[in-house]
Amino acid sequence: MSSPESAGHGSATQAPIEYADASPEVRAVYDDIMATRKSDWVNNYWKVLANHPPTLRRMWANSKEVMGPGALDPLTKELIYLAVSVTNACRYCIASHGAAARNKGMTPEQHAELVAIIGLANETNAQAFALDLQIDDKFR
């Protein structure tokens, strides 16, 4: 008797699509990722997204625009990304953006300060909720 909970067409985890197996459409995105990053490989996030090419294309366009050159320097952008990823407990994102931050020059001392700020902010956020703090007029 078949179980309604057993996977019908494979498990939830989708296999990453390697460059050699990718369609021209997917390869074009991989090529742009590597060229933009001056890198010779693509990480799993993109290779798994590639199972749905419109999402791969869309997310790369977003990432390229948001994380590209702007008013904030590249390292600061990665630290902000890390602060979100840690608060959400996203192990994959902490690993990938931690590596990116180190490549953009994050020192161990800066990492320690980053972790301390993230911890403190999570603490004071919770206290603000618990005490139902009213926003000061000067902040409005």
The footprint of a copy of itself on residues 22-41 (CB under 8 A) is 37-41
Number of residues that bind a copy of itself (CB under 8 A): 96
Tell whether residue 19 is a contact of a copy of itself (CB under 8 A). Answer: no
Residue closer to a copy of itself by CB (options 24, 69) is 69
The distance of Cα 124 from the centroid of its chain, to the nearest Å, equals: 24
Q: How far is the CB of 15 from a copy of itself (least distance, A)?
A: 10
Show contacts with a copy of itself in window 74-133 (CB under 8 A). Answer: 76-77, 79-100, 102-104, 107-110, 112-133
Residue closer to a copy of itself by CB (options 13, 20) is 13
SS3 per-residue string spanning 81-127: HHHHHHHCCCHHHHHHHHHHHHHCCCCHHHHHHHHHHHHHHHHHHHH
Q: How far is the CB of 138 from a copy of itself (least distance, A)?
A: 5
Binding to a copy of itself by CB under 8 A, coded x per residue (else -) over 40-79, reads: xx-xxx--xx-xx-xx--xx--xx-xxx--xxx---xx-x
Distance, CA of 66 to CA of 63 (rounded, Å): 5
CA atoms within 13 A on the CB side of 35: 7
Largest CA distance in the chain: 67
Tell whether residue 20 is a contact of a copy of itself (CB under 8 A). Answer: no
Tell whether residue 17 is a contact of a copy of itself (CB under 8 A). Answer: no
Contacts of 122 (CB under 8 A, 6+ apart): 87
Residue closer to a copy of itself by CB (options 24, 108) is 108
Rg of the Cα trace of the chain?
Answer: 20
